[in-house]
Amino acid sequence: MEASTRQTSAPPGPGDARPEAGRSAAAGTIRLILHGTRMDRADVREAVERLRSEGHDVEVRVTWEAGDAGRFARSAVGSARIVVAAGGDGTVSEVAAALAGQDGPALAILPMGTANDFAVSAGVPTGDVDAALDLAVSGCEAATVDMIRCGEKRFLNLATGGPGTKITAETPEGLKRALGGLSYAVAGAVAGATRSGAFAGQVGVVRGPGFEWTGAFLALVVGNGRQAGGGVELCPDARIDDGLLDLRVVPEGNGAGALLLESLLRGREATLDDASFAHRVPWIEVETEEPMQVNLDGEPVEGTSFRFDVDPGALRLVLPQGCPLLR
C-alpha cells in the first residue's frame, strides 16, 4: 500500500489555480488526484501549468490520508470529464474502484509509483509526465474495461495470495523501498523460502466453472491485468475487456514451484506452465485450512474463504492506441 501524506488541497503555485470563470466544467474539466508523497514534483507542476495555458481546466487534489483518492474521485462524478490517478498501482486501483459503475468521468493514469505494473502492461507512458498527461487529455475515446470484485471490494489489476503475501506485508518499509517493485507477494515468497531453507504451501481448495483442485500451493494469482512485482508477468495472456479472470496457481509439488518463483524474481526466463496451472473463468472460489492473506492491488485482506468475480465493463479507461491488454 502506498503511504499517505497530510495535504488536503493542491500544493502552492500552479496547482492552486482554478479554471477561469465562464468555462464549462462538463465540457472538459480534468481532475488530477496526486498521491501526497509526490506533491513536491516540479515536473507535475510544470505539466499542469502547461495544460492550463493550452486551455484545459485542470483541478488538482492531493491525498492526505487513506481513502482520500477514492473520495476525490467520487466527488468528481458529475463535474469532471476525466479523472487522472497520479500515483502507483494502489492509487490507480482506488480511483478505479470509486469510478466503477458510475455514469461519469473516464479514468486516465499518470504513473508515479515504484512499479507501475498496470500502466506498464497497458502501454501508458511511464517516466514522462507530459506524455502521460497528453494521453489523458488527448480526446481518445475511453475503452470500456473489466474489474475484479472480491466481496465488496473492486480492484483493477491482480490479486496475489499464498505464503509469501503475508511475508511481504510484514516486510519493513525501508526494505520494500530498497527492493522496489520486487517487494510483492511473489518476491516475498521467494525471499522467505531462501531465508528459511524450507517453504510450506498454503493448503486449500480452488474451484471455478468446470474444475476443482485441492492441494498445497505456493502462490495463487487472480488476474485482470498481467503483471506484478515490477514486471513479473504472472498472467501473460490476460485481457481487461474479455469478461474473464485469469487464474494462475503454483502448487507446492516437488520443488518446481519454488524454482519457478525464484527464476521470476531474478528476472530469468521461466515457463509458467512447467510448474503451474491456469484457467480463464468468470469466477473463482478459494477456501483454505488456515487464514490466508491476499493482496488486492496491494491492499491486504485476510480470511479462509474468498470469491472473485469479473465485473464486466465496469470502468471507462483512457488507454493508448494498440494497448496490449485489449482484445
Residue 186: closest CA among 159, 160, 215? 160
The residue with cell 489555480 is 17
The residue with cell 487464474 is 247
Contacts 24+ apart (CB under 8 A), 168-171: 168/295, 169/293, 169/295, 169/300
Backbone angles phi, psi at 205, to 5 degrees: -120, 135
Q: How far apart are CA 85 and CA 105, in angstroms?
A: 12
Q: Which of 49, 289, 299, 302 is catalytic?
A: 299
Q: What is the DSSP string of 115-166?
A: S-HHHHHHT---S-HHHHHHHHTS-PPPEEEEEEEETTEEESSEEEESHHHH
Residue 281: closest CA among 177, 148, 173? 148
- Please, what sign has the CA dihedral across residues 271, 261, 282, 110? negative
Residue 201: closest CA among 285, 257, 159? 257
- Tell me whether residue 173 is one of the annotated catalytic residues: no
- Cell matching residue 171: 516486510
Instruction: Measure CA 135 to chain center.
Output: 19
**Residue 82's beta-bridge partner residues?**
30, 106
Catalytic sites, residue numbers: 299
